[in-house]
């Protein structure tokens, strides 16, 4: 989905969009994902995980295919919205498959490659897209992306196993879409007040603020802008490829460490590290310093992209898993919506460096809030245990 990133600065210039307009285009992707979370989770519970994956990939291909036809901000936003609808479907299916086939003792290692694969695609996509755009042009690149995604959809239809079991249906999941959607909404309202999911929602919100506001919006502009580093597309692609390589190499060690110490313990430090990398990028004045900062961000993204999902799956029962992960994705989609629009607006008004500083502050603050919420919950549990023991003693 990030293969279009190298094309977007040129498209923005050709169509005549401002940074704020560009932020709205990115926000359309997030708004569509936000709206689609409950329906896609219901589809995964009623028609199966594989149906959500294949259908979602097909919509992503449609979004790519229509983007070359867009000649205005509204047209581009509509195409990105279709892509967002599809992304929600296949992410919902993939995360549920990973959660279904793992246990709390192996969930970190199972979900870490999934998060790393997403991060790798998000990071390496610009490198691949930039290379194809240099050969075939923007339209040819988008057509290639659409055909590639359709090919992946065909592969998924044949190769991905269906992990929705009869036991899950007996535990409360409905085979009917309408009933599944109603059950999903009811569960979401109950689960939203659970403290573990609240703090995990904060973490996923902050991560997506950074991913949408920095990686998808202002970082490409910073690297390519004459007022920034003024790097050519090939160099920008190489930097994104480096980040992808780090994500791949770090995925299994990160997952193993998460299973050893618990995924929640890794979230706050990774949020703070990602915030620091965003805040340091304005101070990078050459490719070497920029590469160092982006390497830190890649490692932090590897943790932030997978461990909230593992922790949310650990904190929920199998019959509530789809609802818990839908709630987590909803928080992330709100972050995507807020990050792309607000960080893009800050960049348009105050400059790209100010936007990067703002994103860094949001992440560091969210890491501190996550830690405070964890401590408060631990203190509440300890107090409840003491009160219970006194009651038993009487």
pLDDT digits (tens, 9 = 90+) for 79-93: 889 998 998 998 888
pLDDT (mean) for 35-42:
84
Question: What DSSP designation does 172 have?
Answer: T
Sequence-separated contacts (24+) of 47-50 with Cβ below 8 Å: 47/177, 48/162, 48/164, 49/93, 49/94, 49/96, 49/97, 49/100, 49/160, 49/162, 49/163, 49/164, 50/93, 50/156, 50/157, 50/160, 50/161, 50/162
Tokens of 208: 């997506």
pLDDT (mean) for 333-359:
88
CA–CA distance, 96 with 102 (Å, rounded to integer): 10
Q: Output the pLDDT for position 115.
A: 67
pLDDT (mean) for 202-210:
92
Residue identified by tokens 């800050």 is 346
Of residues 312 and 320, which shows the higher confidence score? Answer: 312
Q: Fold for domain 2-388?
A: Growth Hormone; Chain: A; (1.20.1250)
pLDDT (mean) for 336-365:
89
* Residues 125-159: tens digit of each pLDDT: 666 776 676 777 777 777 888 888 999 999 999 98
- Provide the mean pLDDT of the chain: 81
What percentage of residues in the chain have a pLDDT greater than 90? 22
On the question of pLDDT at 168 being above 90, the answer is no
Q: Output the pLDDT for position 204.
A: 92
Q: Cβ–Cβ contacts within 10 Å for residue 339, how many?
A: 32
- Which among 71-75, 271-275, 329-333 has the top mean pLDDT? 271-275
Please, which pLDDT band fits residue 192 given cuts at 50, 70 and 90?
low
On the question of pLDDT at 273 being above 70, the answer is yes
CA–CA distance, 9 with 111 (Å, rounded to integer): 33
CA 346 to chain centre: 22
Please, which pLDDT band fits residue 277 given cuts at 50, 70 and 90?
very high
Q: Cβ–Cβ contacts within 10 Å for residue 232, how many?
A: 11
On the question of pLDDT at 300 being above 80, the answer is yes
Candidate from 57-71, 226-240, 257-271, 277-291 with smallest mean pLDDT:
226-240
Q: Angle at CA 43, nearest 5°, toward 37 and 45?
A: 105
* Residues 235-255: tens digit of each pLDDT: 887 888 788 888 888 888 888
pTM: 0.71
Q: Where exactly are the structural domains of the chain?
A: 2-388
Q: Angle at CA 305, nearest 5°, toward 348 and 287?
A: 55
Please, which pLDDT band fits residue 364 given cuts at 50, 70 and 90?
very high
- Three-state SS at 22: helix
């Amino acid at each position: 989905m990030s293969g279009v990133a190298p094309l977007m600065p040129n498209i923005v210039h050709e169509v005549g969009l401002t940074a704020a307009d560009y932020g709205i285009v990115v926000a359309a992707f997030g708004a569509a994902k936000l709206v689609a979370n409950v329906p896609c989770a219901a589809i995964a519970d009623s028609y199966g995980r594989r149906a959500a994956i294949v259908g979602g990939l097909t919509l992503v291909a449609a979004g790519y295919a229509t983007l070359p036809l867009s000649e205005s901000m509204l047209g581009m936003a509509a195409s990105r919205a279709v892509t967002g609808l599809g992304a929600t479907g296949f992410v919902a299916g993939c995360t549920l498959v990973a959660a279904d086939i793992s246990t709390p003792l192996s969930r970190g290692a199972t979900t870490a490659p999934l998060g790393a694969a997403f991060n790798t695609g998000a990071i390496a996509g610009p490198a691949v897209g930039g290379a194809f755009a240099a050969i075939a042009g923007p339209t040819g690149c988008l057509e290639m992306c659409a055909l590639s995604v359709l090919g992946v959809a065909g592969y998924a239809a044949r190769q991905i196993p269906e992990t929705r079991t009869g036991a899950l249906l007996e535990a409360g999941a409905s085979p009917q879409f309408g009933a599944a959607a109603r059950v999903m909404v009811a569960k979401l309202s109950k689960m939203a007040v659970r403290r573990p999911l609240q703090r995990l929602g904060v973490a996923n919100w902050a991560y997506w603020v950074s991913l949408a506001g920095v990686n998808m919006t202002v970082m490409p502009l910073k690297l390519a802008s004459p007022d920034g580093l003024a790097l050519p597309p090939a160099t920008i692609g190489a930097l994104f490829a480096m980040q992808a390589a780090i994500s791949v190499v770090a995925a299994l060690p990160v997952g193993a460490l998460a299973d050893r110490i618990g995924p929640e313990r890794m979230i706050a430090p990774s949020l703070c590290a990602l915030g620091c990398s965003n805040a340091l990028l304005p101070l990078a004045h050459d490719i070497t310093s920029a590469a160092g900062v982006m390497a830190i961000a890649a490692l932090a993204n590897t943790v932030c992209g997978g461990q909230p999902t593992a922790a949310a799956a650990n904190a929920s029962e199998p019959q509530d898993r789809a609802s818990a992960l839908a709630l987590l994705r909803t928080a992330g989609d709100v972050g995507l919506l807020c990050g792309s629009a607000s960080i893009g607006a800050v960049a348009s008004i105050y400059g790209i460096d100010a936007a990067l500083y703002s994103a860094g502050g949001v992440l560091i603050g969210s890491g501190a809030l996550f830690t405070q919420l964890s401590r408060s919950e631990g203190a509440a549990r300890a107090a409840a245990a003491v009160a219970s023991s006194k009651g038993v003693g009487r």
